[in-house]
Amino acid sequence: MTRLLLSRRRFLTGAAVSASTVPLAGCFDSLGQRGGTARGVMESAQWLTYRVQRWMLGSDSLAQEYAESEIRQPQRPNGTTNPQDADYRRLVAEDFSGYRLSVSGMVAQPGTFSLDEIRAMPGRTQITRHDCVEGWSCIAKWTGVPLASVLDAVGVAPAARFVVFDCYDTMENGFTGPVKYYESIDMEDARHPQTILAYGCNDQPLSVANGAPLRVRVERQLGYKMAKYVRAITVTDTLAGFGEGGGGYWEDRGYEWFAGI
Amino acid sequence: MARNGTELVYRQRLPTRVTHWAWAVCLFFLLLSGLQIFMARPDLYIGQQSGFAFDNAVLSIGAFMDGATMKARTVLFGHSFDTTGWLGAVWEDGDLQPKTFPSWLTIPGYRDLATGRVVHFFFAWGLVFALALWLVASLANGHARELVLSRGDWRGLPRDVLDHLRLRLSHGRRYRSLQKLSYALILFLVLPLMILTGLTMSPGFNAFMPWTLDLFGGRQTARTLHFLLMLVLVGFTAVHLAMVLLAGPFNELRSMITGWYRADPESER
């Protein structure tokens, strides 16, 4: 009898434990509601993640660079791969001869740069690994001008904190018109030696699929930070007023602004 | 006090109990948010990068159309399996959807990489803090030593394995060989490796500590190992829960909540 009772108790406990672990479908979906309490608690850890990353990456520590032999495939294009925006199509049609990168904001002398002017500046070539937030990686050789050189050419105000990249590609059509891709990085990353505005990939001019004529490389962060189809650069001390204020298209949709992990 | 010669002993100290439940909660959320993150790229590779123009995948899960019907294929080390309905293409509201996992296996239940990452990193911090707290407390109060196998424990290991297989479970005051070994492996090896392989997927951490890339053989191998270690933890948890049920869930749960455990007489071992 004792045996029987014991085994029933065991069975009931077992059943309770099993039942509590099986279908939890949707139980934690409130975590996806941005602005909600549960989500807010989860997001509080982002501050810690950011501080630790900024501490680790405070120095000019470099992202690993690879040997030529590690380039085993073309760079995999992701996100927008062929913008249909009229102004961009015009640039493509004339092989970007009319392209002018505008640099403005908190700078001494706002200016514009043609692609030839950018290519004439001392360049940097690096073979690095592109890590997408989705989880895949691809190694490619990137050639471009250090962003620091462009910033020095226009003279950045001491109070400036961020560099914002405005892009040609439309991601979606919102109530107030097309929503274009944009991104931003802080001055430390902007002046990092491996942060370049790339115009070449794997010894070829940067293709439309990979962001022609210019795309950003921020090698110590994830792929979505590396804006393609860069139209203009704005130096600023606040990210408010750009997009929805999150500092980037994906950041406005719940992704971390500092994407080192 | 004594019942059939057994007696209540204070076996689990407060830091052990608190961190045990912290791990239980953290690992639960880490698993389900991790599977959400995996859904964004349901492939695992060996090496630094993901092969798109070459094949270095060891696992691929995906849906495809066979005429007008959706099917799912899981390819493991080149062997293809039809996993329609439970991996790659799953039933949702009566329809087959091209999704790696059913919604009850992920947080959130729907596809949401951003939220998966926010949840994953929150509980990753929880895991790290709990592990650090446990390590400091256990070194201070001597609990860590209880997990170290003595010469006698190693000799008794085969016997202990056999006893477990025959479900002859003892209720000693101290851990026996297999318990010591499994807890020590999880706490000193699997969980630290889980954290380290996770960090090795971070391009920022790679710049800070490039040697971890060499240690694991590349970012994509680290990602594959992270997934494998997850399977180890799931397996450990399944056996752990089964053992709790078989050894007497009331006594086992009491010891992990109040610290008090009803132990067999000392003479038995």
Report CB contact under 8 Å: A134, B40.
yes
Q: pLDDT digit string (tens) for B196-223?
A: 999 999 999 999 999 999 999 999 999 9
Query: CA-to-CA distance for A214 and A78, rounded, in angstroms?
Result: 15
What CATH number did the domain enclosing A116 receive? Answer: 3.90.420.10
Non-local CB neighbours of A215 within 8 Å, separated by 6+ positions:
A197, A198, A206, A226, A227, A228, A229, A230
Q: How far apart are the first and last CA of chain A?
A: 58
Q: Is A51 in CB contact (< 8 Å) with chain B?
A: no
Q: Which domain holds residue A244?
A: 65-253
Residue keyed to tokens 């390819």: B75
Residues of A in contact with B241 (CB under 8 A): 17
Residue B17 neighbours by CB distance under 10 Å: 15
- DSSP calls for B19-49: HHHHHHHHHHHHHHHHHHHHHTS-EEESSSS
Name the percent of chain A lying above pLDDT 90: 83
* A32 occurs within a structural domain: no
Report CB contact under 8 Å: A32, B219.
no
Residues of A in contact with B32 (CB under 8 A): 24, 28
Residues of B in contact with A138 (CB under 8 A): 49-50, 52
Collapsing DSSP to helix, strand or coil, A149 comes out as helix
Q: pLDDT digit string (tens) for B69-121?
A: 999 999 999 999 999 999 999 998 889 999 999 999 999 999 999 999 999 99
Report CB contact under 8 Å: B208, A56.
yes
Tell me the average pLDDT of chain A: 92
**CB-neighbour burial class of residue B170 (10 A; exposed 0-12, middle 13-18, buried 19+):** middle
Average pLDDT over residues A23-28: 69
Average pLDDT over residues A31-58: 91
Q: pLDDT-based confidence at A60, cuts 50/70/90?
A: confident
Nearest CA in chain B to A29: B108
Contact status, residue A197 vs residue A214, Cβ threshold 8 Å: yes
Tell me the helices (H) and strands (E) count for chain B, helix number first: 10, 8
Q: pLDDT-based confidence at B1, cuts 50/70/90?
A: very low
The number of residues making up chain A comes to 261
Pairing assessment for the beta strands A124-131 and A162-174 based on DSSP bridges: unpaired
* A159 occurs within a structural domain: yes
CA distance A108 to chain B (A): 32
* A200 occurs within a structural domain: yes
Question: For residue A2, which phi and psi values (nearest 5 degrees)?
Answer: -60, -45
- CB within 8 Å of chain B, chain A residues 200-239: 219-222
Domains and CATH numbers, chain B: 8-54+106-268 (1.20.950.20), 55-99 (no CATH)
Residue A12 has pLDDT above 70, yes or no: no
* A258 occurs within a structural domain: no
The verdict on ipTM greater than 0.95 is: no
* A175 occurs within a structural domain: yes
DSSP state of B3: B
* A48 occurs within a structural domain: no
Residue B265 has pLDDT above 50, yes or no: yes
Residues of A in contact with B250 (CB under 8 A): 9, 13
Residue A5, pLDDT score:
47
The structural domain count of chain A equals 1
Contacts A–B by Cβ distance under 8 A: 161
Query: CA-to-CA distance for A12 and A22, rounded, in angstroms?
Result: 15
Closest in B41, B48, B112 to A135, CB measured = B41
Query: CA-to-CA distance for A201 and A204, rounded, in angstroms?
Result: 5
Report CB contact under 8 Å: B114, A255.
yes
Give the amino acid at A29. D
Q: Is A81 in CB contact (< 8 Å) with chain B?
A: no
Query: CA-to-CA distance for B248 and B257, rounded, in angstroms?
Result: 14
Mutate to test the interface with B, among A2, A6, A31, A256 (most CBs of B within 10 A): A31
* A105 occurs within a structural domain: yes
Q: pLDDT digit string (tens) for A192-219?
A: 999 999 999 999 999 999 999 999 999 9
Tell me the average pLDDT of chain B: 93
* A3 occurs within a structural domain: no
Mutate to test the interface with A, among B33, B206, B221, B251 (most CBs of A within 10 A): B206
